[in-house]
Amino acid sequence: ALLLLRGVSGSNATNTIIDSPAPEQFRIFETKFVANPPRSPLGLCEGDCDKDDECADGLICHQRDENEEVPGCTGGGSDSSLTDYCI
């Protein structure tokens, strides 16, 4: 991803473009079945959760139907299981 960095050096404005991986919050993660029940908190796009407290802090358990997309994740639309994922 190209990032534009703006700055000021003395009285001069500077713009720098760098090539960098996308920040974590903008990445799209592939859905991943970990375990049911999970042994530790599940991360973003990981399943199979049954309730919010099985997800890492700040995530919720997204209850889904067969082949339903998982918000912010890829792979849910082709998943015919009833696996629920943390988002």
pLDDT tens-digit map of 41-77 = 999 999 999 999 999 999 999 999 988 999 989 888 8
Q: Other CB atoms closer than 10 Å to residue 87's CB: what's the count?
A: 21
Torsion (CA) 23, 40, 78, 72 in degrees, nearest 10 = -30
The pLDDT value recorded for residue 21 is: 57
Residues in the chain: 87
The pLDDT value recorded for residue 24 is: 54
pLDDT tens-digit map of 7-44 = 665 666 666 665 555 555 555 788 998 987 778 899 99
Nearest by Cα to 29 from 49, 41, 42, 44: 44
Q: Is 24 left (phi over 0), alpha (psi -120 to 50) or beta?
A: alpha
**Cα 26 to chain centroid, rounded:** 8
